[in-house]
Amino acid sequence: MRIHVVFHGRVQGVGFRYSAKQKALELDVHGWVKNKEDGTVELEAEGNEAHLRKFIGALKNGLNPFIKVTHIDQKLLDNEAGYSTFSVK
């Protein structure tokens, strides 16, 4: 299963991407995360459905007290890309 997500809120300059990478490694989720110029954070991830649900749930709730996600745009993608790691772009 592969998903594409854009996180809105206080998500840049607060450790969001590196916290996402740590959680992805913990849950065996692969893909990437990057800051966008509009202040959002974009993420693409793949793995089993249960792990992806836990991963996105943890990110929505904020992995540290400085992160405040106000909205997410999430889309299920058709096929897996074959990522072998989770990277911060």
Domains in the chain and their CATH numbers?
2-79 (3.30.70.100)
Q: What are the catalytic residues?
A: 17, 35
For the entire predicted model, the pTM comes to 0.94
Q: Note the pLDDT tens digit of each residue in 7-46.
A: 999 999 999 999 999 999 999 999 999 999 999 999 999 9
Strand order in the sheet with 68-77: 68-77, 2-10, 41-46, 30-35, 86-88
Which residues are CB-contacts of 5 (< 8 A; sequence separation ≥ 6)?
A: 42, 43, 44, 45, 56, 59, 72, 73, 74, 75
Contact, 8 vs 63, CB < 8 A?
A: no
pLDDT of residue 10: 98
Longest Cα–Cα distance of the chain, Å, equals 34
Q: Please report, in angstroms and rounded to a whole number, the separation of the first and last CA atoms in the chain.
A: 21
pLDDT of residue 62: 84
